A and B are shown apart, each in its own frame.
Chain A
Amino acid sequence: MPVTAPLDTDGFVVSATFLGDVAAFASGEGSVFFAGGPETQTPVHKNGLLCATPSLDGKALITGGGDGKICKVSADGSVEELAEQPRKWIDLIAAGPQDSVAFASGRTAWVRLKTGEIKEFQLPRAFAGLAFAPKGMRLAASRYDGVTLFWVNAAGDPQELSWKGAHGLVTYSPDGKYLVTTMQENALHGWRLADSQDMRMTGYPAKVKSVSWSAKNKYLATSGAQAAILWPFTGKSGPMGQAPLELGVRGDSMVTTVCCHPQEEMLAIGYQDGMVMAVRFHDNAEVLLRRPGAGPVSALAWDKKGNRLAFGTEEGAAGVITLVD
């Protein structure tokens, strides 16, 4: 039976992450809470914490806040300030290779390199999502009417991928072949980067706010329906012409957060009512991990081995569920 160690944070759980064995929960109120380490709570941002993402080496949590600061928070509770853009709300953040960090506010994005050097990028409309390519220093920025791909270090014009409408989150497939955005309308849009072939993934009853790539690159799991929708990215054309998997179907609650297991073909699903389930891809076998309560699930994260799952909700409930000791 899974065992849950609960934790109360004071605010909206913006993200959950494992930093080694320690689970870190970024709270919208401005602190990072820890479970399993010496620290229990570290104040990071004064005017709210708006975004957080683990560094690529998995050793730190990078956060952005309403105080315009970008901070690096370690499992021991230490906080290093990486950059500051005074009076800006930093609400987009992405961790890149070589300890680089991208962050944005309005129509400007910045990339901070390991050396501390900061490069600035501008768009005519607001940045809506940021993601680094899996290889090379390339930054994808979603925006109104498409995505712009910037080279961080090399000169040269950015590449534009156009598709009408307001794009939100942006994510590269782990093999770097596809780029997918969530949209303001209830849909995803994707591009096959080799030839900029468009792909539309629609049929959602709600906006897609959480996406997660499965191990081995086979599926993109998404929220936005009363089941987790998993689009297959096998074969030449990705999901085109293929039906998605629908896992964890419920009649009475929407999926709000998805997180693929790091090794197995299995998915953790968080629902609007606070329930958390783990579901296996091939036979839809379900395990209830958390009963409903304390607001919509807003964050999920597996540890590296996939033995433990951290969760958080919009009402500040959080915890670590141990599946395998």
Chain B
Amino acid sequence: MSEAADSRIPVTVLTGYLGAGKTTLLNRILSENHGTRYAVIVNEFGEIGIDNDLLVESDEEVYEMNNGCICCTVRGDLIRTVENLMKRKGAFDAIIVETTGVADPAPVAQTFFMDDDVREAAKLDAVVAVVDARHVQQRLKDTKEAEDQIAFSDVILLNKTDLVSAEELVGVEAAIRKINPYAKIHHTERCQIEIGDVLDRGAFELDRILDLDPEFLKKAEHAHDHECGPDCDHDHHHHGHDHGHAHDHDHPDHECGPDCDHDHEDTHSVKSFSFTAGDLEPKVFFDWINQVTQIQGPNILRMKGILAFKDDPQRYVVQGIHMIVEGNHQRDWKDDEKRESRIVFIGRELDGAALKTAFEACVAE
């Protein structure tokens, strides 16, 4: 698909556990005077005021693609709804998909990559999660979905901050960071947020993946003075950096952020791992990333990377959902920019040490 002639309808996926405040956010988006007409796909017709917007009810029908791959799932209802909406082209400018509290966002996102018709008509903009600051810790303990939703998000509204103490909030944010270090987190009360912080994020657009993610970019600068990223510095409750691996500073380093928690009591099954390295050997990297996503695809929720390939003047960006990986050249490395390769994996049962070793083996001689 050519980027220049991209007339596809942007889609925002709104997720979050039951009672977190999704409907409040939706109401805000719809009632604000922004001139954009939305088609809203919901699971149940609720009390949403929708004077000028299209509201479509939709079941959550997950289909396995018939290719024998268990993680290649799409939402059949979404395919159909988007097809129907396309018959009304001109009646709306953007689509919002609200998922139920227990929904897995992966099949939603995959639908926009795996179904040709949907991919032609619509493009995923971002996954936005509303998280209840007061109850999320409990949800993370007793459900898999709450964790998946955080892991999958590009933007997180840490909502109901007025119901927790400042200290609790730090703990909650740390817990979120441990699952997903690169989502943009906003603290909100009653989902008070600038609409622009939620919509039109371009989080799945390769050339914008990292612009949205200042922390991800910043990390590299601090990599050598041993600052543990956006996460470890909040993580007071569990350890004092006594993990088993060495921090050798003369080497492209594993950042002891989200993955510092190897040997501590930890109820989260989703973890993130981020690694940095210098110039990579492209063939070695692609062989590895293909293999890793083929084999561990079901466990990889999101993957994002920005890469420097040997003898390549351009930055290469890559992203993945389960087994779907896409990548492309983004732009030239700037003169004042350090050529560095960075990659983040967010997933379940991932072997961080093995990923790190394999990633570092891609470094060009």
Contacts and interface: CB of A to CB of B under 8 A. Distances in A.
A and B, one complex? yes
A89 B84 contact: yes
B54 interface: yes
B56 interface: yes
B88 A166 contact: no
Given A125-B61, A126-B59, A166-B66, A50 B84 contact: yes
**Which among A14, A88, A107, A125 has the greatest number of chain B C-beta atoms within 10 A?**
A125
Given A50-B84, A87-B57, A28 B89 contact: yes
B80 interface: yes
Interface string A233-244: 000000000000
Nearest to B90: A11
Given A87-B45, A126-B76, A166-B76, A185 B65 contact: yes
Contacts of A89: 56-57, 84
B61 A12 contact: no
B117 A207 contact: yes
Given A47-B54, A207-B117, A91 B66 contact: no
B353 interface: no
Given A126-B80, A207-B116, A11 B88 contact: yes
**Which among B57, B66, B67 has the greatest number of chain A C-beta atoms within 10 A?**
B66
The bracket for how many chain B residues form the interface is: 20 to 34
B61 A11 contact: no
Contacts, number: 75
A106 interface: yes
A184 B57 contact: no
Nearest to A125: B61
B350 interface: no
A106 B87 contact: no
**Which DSSP category, helix, strand, loop or mixed, fits chain A's interface?**
loop
A106 B88 contact: no
A183 B115 CA distance: 12
A27 to B, nearest CB: 9
Contacts of A87: 45, 57
B296 to A, nearest CB: 24
Given A125-B61, A144-B61, A185 B88 contact: no
A297 to B, nearest CB: 15
B66 A164 contact: yes
A106 B116 contact: no
A11 B87 contact: yes
B77 interface: yes
Contacts of A183: 66
B289 interface: no
B329 to A, nearest CB: 27
Interface string A87-117: 1110100000000000000110000000000
A83 interface: no
Contacts of B18: none
B195 interface: no
B286 interface: no
Contact of A28 (B66, B87, B117): B87
A107 B59 contact: yes
A66 interface: yes
B181 to A, nearest CB: 35
Interface string B110-128: 0000011100000000000
A64 to B, nearest CB: 11
Contact of B116 (A28, A29, A49, A206): A206
A166 B80 contact: no
Nearest to B117: A207
B86 interface: yes
Contact of B89 (A11, A91, A107, A125): A11
Given A47-B54, A91-B80, A144-B61, A29 B90 contact: yes
B84 A165 contact: no
A48 interface: yes
Nearest to A183: B66
Contacts of B54: 47, 66
B170 interface: no
A163 B56 CA distance: 29
B91 A48 contact: yes
Contacts of A88: 57
B246 to A, nearest CB: 48
A14 B63 contact: no
Interface in B13-58: 45, 54, 56-57
Nearest to B85: A48
B88 A66 contact: yes
Nearest to B83: A91
**Which among B57, B74, B86, B88 has the greatest number of chain A C-beta atoms within 10 A?**
B88
B57 A12 contact: no
A318 B92 CA distance: 23
23 contacts: A11-B87, A12-B86, A12-B89, A28-B87, A28-B89, A47-B54, A48-B84, A66-B56, A106-B59, A107-B59, A125-B76, A126-B76, A128-B80, A144-B63, A164-B66, A165-B63, A165-B66, A184-B66, A184-B115, A185-B65, A185-B66, A206-B116, A207-B116
State the 8 A-B residue pairs at the shortest beta-carbon distance, nearest first: A28-B87, A165-B66, A48-B88, A12-B87, A166-B63, A185-B66, A91-B84, A50-B84
Given A128-B80, A184-B66, 20 more contacts: A11-B88, A12-B89, A28-B86, A28-B89, A48-B91, A66-B84, A66-B88, A88-B57, A89-B57, A106-B77, A125-B76, A126-B76, A144-B76, A166-B63, A184-B65, A184-B74, A184-B76, A184-B79, A207-B117, A314-B86
